[in-house]
């Protein structure tokens, strides 16, 4: 049954009062003091005021007592009785806010209400039992009214003001019990997880403390028994003191050992220190191998492993001679620096740059380690990572020294021209200190953070081209070029090295297949055209595979492979001399060029036609070659050798059109092709040429003479025109090639035209 009451409003901002609750209210706010002072019949309407807004429903409460709290503050004790819905404001005595309030009748109790009340009471009793609050449990057990039971939730400390305000506003007791069950179950689930986490943490801490105590006791027992670390594995101080380390490295290692002894075994830092100490102790700081003193035997090993390459072999023998003299005199370092060399082997693919490293190490009597640099983009790969990084490692140079087990190995830096750079740094810049003989005696790896002497290491670097090696890095290396092999050298390599290796891979015996020298020469000259021997080895492998099939099908051994039978194994030759065919008409000249695969023959074609005068260039020519065409045409016109080309539409083409071409060595060939077109005199089919030309007709020197002459020799040319100033480069050419080529050093384009063009008489007679 409801009734309407006129009551002063007592607002609460920090709590919510539900029916049945007896709570103290501080009399610190003016509106609270006004409500208490103006109360008639000792009744007030307690209303929550959250976020500055009054709730729609409050609680009619009785003022039980007015006094002071233990802290001395004035307070009033109120007891909530029943819910009341706030109506309109009315006037009343004092300065308090008076309103009309209509009490809210309790909703009827149903069977579901009783079930919910029973379930909620069980949850509350379970929670109170965990806390040991037995007196409160007795009071809860005596409550039979579901509404009264639900309103006891006002005492729950884990319910916030919003939840309690929602309970106050809910007039249906069944709905209040449903909300309480939902919130209580969520709270119990959260509490269970929290207690589990706390238990795990407590258990882990107890386990760590127990293990620490046991370890301390074990260490003390071992110390008393004199059996402290019998294996010596964990006693880093003893290992460092027993190791043969340089003095500065020993000091740094003992400092880290001190940190390790003070650190906990569970500390991450102790793991980093152990890894660093293991790395330091694994490096062979003072371990070296003795270089061979027998120069004759060293040269024999190099000659047996590789045909040709006299420049490299002579340089290595010189290195051995110097080292042996220093060793005999007892000189380890000169001016604080070692005599280690840094040789860069530059040449096309397949000439044996990488395999030469193993031969060099065997000839010197040193350990060999290969470091592949192709595609490396992270500077830390060279200098190592800082120890603060997770998974930090020393750089590849330090790892190579550790792998070799000596401080003077042969380290092959393979594909140094293919080192990249990105946001992680420039590895080629990190190599500057490694490859500088004047600096690498104090190389400092970021991981080690101590000086490492690399001056006794023989570094061999391999590259395919000079252009892609950074200039400062190239300046620190002694360059030795491997320009390729002659046909005779290829036959010797095939006979002595490639054929025995491929016989083993094909599962054949040396007596099963016999190759004639003519067949080997044909494979090298007519089936492959390269500076190296990689394609030659593939050709031999193909012949041997087919021979294996023939033997398995019953053919008699040995199988003879000669010039006549080679076609049955490899098909018709892929490379035949074409200079005579291509230069049979005026306007075509044979040039020589250097590509990434070595030297090659290049044909330059020119033609003229009726139409508007102009010049068309095709063949993916670079700016330098385009300028060479213009210079050649201007020179011919200035000398009166252009004929009627000035009134014609000219087209200059350099096959193949899909391959980009550029370089400062095509001027002579361009001039010859245009002069041939203007005069109607074809270029001699046996002549190849290289060189740049000026507007005054001077022939300028160029690079790659050896590779170009080897390419001319492979292509079957007999006469080669080179700049006069390149004549000293002929000293690098094998005698066998010079004996078969007529080399014409020239200084003026007029001499080139006189040598290259057919005579006018022979053209007319033809």
Catalytic residue among 665, 676, 679, 685: 665
Reduced to 3 states, what is the DSSP secondary structure of residue 189? helix
Give φ, ψ of 101 to 5 degrees. Answer: -125, 130
Classify strands 588-595 and 598-609 as parallel, antiparallel or unpaired.
antiparallel
11 is in an annotated binding site: no
Interhelix angle 667-679/623-638, rounded to 10 degrees, is: 40
Burial level of 94, CB count in 10 A (0-12/13-18/19+)?
middle
> Among candidates 743, 713, 736, which has minimal Cα distance to 307?
736
User: What are the structure tokens assigned to 251, written together?
Assistant: 């000091």
Candidates 164, 648, 706, 708; catalytic one: 708
Contact 537, 496 (CB under 8 A): no
Sheet containing strand 478-481, strands side by side: 368-372, 410-414, 458-463, 342-346, 478-481
Name the strand (E) or helix (H) holding 414.
Answer: strand 410-414
Say if residue 232 carries a ligand binding annotation: no
Q: What's the rounded Cα separation, in Å, for the pair 754 and 407?
A: 60
CA–CA separation, 702 and 746 (whole Å): 13
Query: Is 349 annotated to bind ligand?
Result: yes
- Asked whether residue 121 is marked as a ligand-binding residue, the answer is no
- Other beta carbons within 10 angstroms of residue 341's beta carbon come to 18
DSSP string, 476-522: TSEEEE-----HHHHHHHIIIIIHHHHHHHTT--TTTEEE-HHHHHH
Active site residue 418: no
Q: Please, are residues 633 and 565 in contact by the beta-carbon 8 Å criterion?
A: no
What are the distances in angstroms from CA 696 to CA 357, 631, 692?
47, 9, 12
723 marked ligand binding residue: no
**Burial degree of 239 (CB within 10 A; 0-12, 13-18, 19+):** middle
Instruction: Confirm or deny that 571 is annotated as ligand binding.
Output: no
The tokens 């001699």 sit on which residue?
684
Phi, psi of 94 (to 5 degrees): 80, -175
Q: What letter would DSSP give residue 484?
A: -
The answer to whether 708 is a known catalytic residue is: yes
The reply, when asked if residue 350 is annotated as ligand binding, is: yes
Residues 6+ apart with CB under 8 A from 621: 629, 654, 661, 662
**Burial readout 507-536 (b: 16 or more C-beta within 10 A, e: otherwise):** ebeeebbebeeebbbbbbbbbbbbbbbbbb
Contact status, residue 589 vs residue 583, Cβ threshold 8 Å: yes
Q: Cα-flanking dihedrals φ and ψ of residue 160, to 5°?
A: -85, 180
CA torsion sign for 205, 208, 210, 213 is negative
**Tokens 């550029």 sit on residue:** 662
Rounded to whole angstroms, how far apart are CA atoms 400 and 410? 10
Structure tokens of 313?
């072999």
449 C-beta neighbours (distance < 10 Å), count: 13
To the question of whether residue 347 is assigned a binding role by annotation, the answer is yes
Is the Cα dihedral 115, 120, 125, 126 positive or negative?
A: positive
Q: Indicate the SS3 state at residue 529.
A: coil
Cβ proximity of 129 and 137 under 8 Å: yes
Catalytic residue numbers?
A: 665, 708
Q: Which residues are annotated as a binding site for ATP?
A: 347-354
Q: Which residues are annotated as a binding site?
A: 347-354
């Amino acid at each position: 049954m409801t009734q309407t009451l006129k009551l002063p409003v007592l607002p609460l901002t920090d709590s919510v009062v539900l029916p049945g609750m007896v709570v103290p209210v501080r009399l610190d706010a003016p509106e609270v003091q006004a409500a208490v002072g103006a109360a008639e019949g000792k009744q007030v309407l307690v209303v929550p005021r959250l976020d500055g807004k009054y709730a729609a429903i409050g609680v009619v409460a009785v003022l039980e007592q007015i006094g002071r709290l233990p802290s001395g503050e004035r307070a009033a004790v109120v007891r909530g009785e029943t819910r009341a819905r706030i109506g309109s404001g009315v006037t009343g005595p004092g300065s308090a806010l008076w309103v009309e309030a209509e009490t809210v009748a309790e909703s009827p109790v149903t069977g579901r209400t009783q079930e919910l009340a029973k379930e909620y009471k069980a949850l509350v009793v379970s929670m109170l039992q965990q806390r040991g609050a037995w007196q409160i449990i007795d009071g809860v057990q005596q409550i039979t009214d579901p509404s009264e039971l639900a309103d006891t939730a006002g005492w729950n400390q884990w319910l916030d003001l919003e939840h309690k305000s929602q309970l106050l506003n809910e007039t249906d007791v069944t709905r209040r019990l449903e909300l309480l069950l939902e919130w209580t179950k969520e709270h119990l689930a959260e509490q269970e997880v929290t207690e589990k986490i706390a238990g795990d943490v407590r258990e882990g801490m107890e386990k760590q403390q127990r293990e620490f105590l046991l370890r301390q006791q074990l260490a003390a027992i071992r110390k008393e028994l004199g059996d402290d670390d019998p294996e010596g594995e964990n006693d880093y101080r003893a290992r460092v003191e027993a190791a043969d380390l340089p003095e500065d490295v020993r000091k740094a290692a003992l400092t880290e050992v001190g940190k390790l002894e003070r650190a906990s075994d569970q500390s991450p830092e102790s793991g980093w220190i152990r890894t660093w100490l293991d790395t330091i102790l694994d490096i062979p700081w003072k371990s070296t191998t003795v270089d061979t003193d027998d120069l004759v035997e060293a040269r024999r090993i190099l000659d047996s492993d590789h045909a040709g390459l006299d420049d490299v072999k002579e340089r290595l023998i010189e290195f051995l001679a110097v080292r042996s003299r220093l060793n005999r005199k007892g000189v380890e370092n000169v001016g604080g620096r070692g005599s280690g060399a840094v040789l860069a082997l530059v040449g096309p693919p397949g000439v044996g740059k990488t395999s030469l490293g193993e031969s060099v190490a065997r000839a010197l009597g040193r350990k060999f380690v290969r470091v592949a640099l192709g595609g490396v983009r992270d500077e830390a790969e060279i200098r190592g990572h800082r120890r603060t990084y997770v998974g930090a490692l020393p750089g590849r140079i330090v790892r190579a020294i550790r792998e070799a087990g000596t401080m003077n190995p042969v380290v092959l830096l393979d594909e140094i021209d293919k080192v990249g750079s990105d946001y992680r740094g420039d590895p080629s810049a990190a190599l500057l200190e490694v490859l500088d003989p004047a600096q690498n005696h104090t190389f400092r790896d970021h991981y080690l953070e101590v000086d490492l002497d690399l001056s006794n290491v023989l570094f061999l670097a391999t590259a395919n081209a000079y252009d892609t090696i950074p200039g400062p890095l190239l300046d620190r290396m002694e360059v030795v070029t491997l320009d390729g092999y002659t046909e005779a050298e290829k036959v010797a390599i095939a006979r002595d090295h490639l054929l025995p290796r491929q016989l083993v891979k094909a599962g054949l015996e040396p007596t099963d297949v016999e190759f004639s020298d003519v067949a080997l020469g044909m494979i090298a000259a007519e089936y492959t055209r390269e500076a190296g021997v990689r394609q030659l080895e593939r050709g031999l492998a193909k012949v041997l595979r087919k021979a294996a099939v023939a033997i398995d099908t019953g053919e008699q051994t040995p199988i003879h492979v000669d010039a006549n039978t080679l076609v049955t194994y490899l098909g018709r030759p892929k490379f035949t001399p074409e200079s005579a065919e291509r230069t049979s008409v005026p306007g075509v000249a044979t040039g020589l060029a250097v590509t990434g695969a070595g030297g090659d023959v290049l044909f330059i074609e020119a033609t003229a036609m009726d139409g508007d005068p102009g010049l068309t260039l095709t063949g993916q020519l670079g700016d330098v070659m385009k300028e060479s065409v213009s210079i050649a045409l201007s020179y011919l016109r200035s000398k009166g050798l252009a004929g009627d080309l000035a009134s014609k539409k000219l087209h200059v083409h350099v096959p193949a059109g899909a391959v980009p071409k550029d370089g400062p060595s095509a001027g002579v060939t361009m001039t010859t092709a245009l002069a041939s077109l203007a005069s109607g005199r074809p270029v001699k089919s046996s002549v190849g040429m290289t060189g740049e030309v000026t507007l005054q007709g001077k022939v300028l020197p160029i690079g790659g003479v050896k590779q170009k002459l080897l390419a001319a020799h492979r292509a079957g040319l007999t006469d080669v025109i080179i700049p006069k100033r390149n004549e000293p480069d002929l000293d690098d050419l094998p005698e066998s090639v010079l004996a078969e080529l007529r080399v014409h050093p020239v200084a003026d384009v007029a001499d080139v035209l006189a040598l290259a063009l057919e005579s006018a008489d022979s053209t007319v007679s033809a």
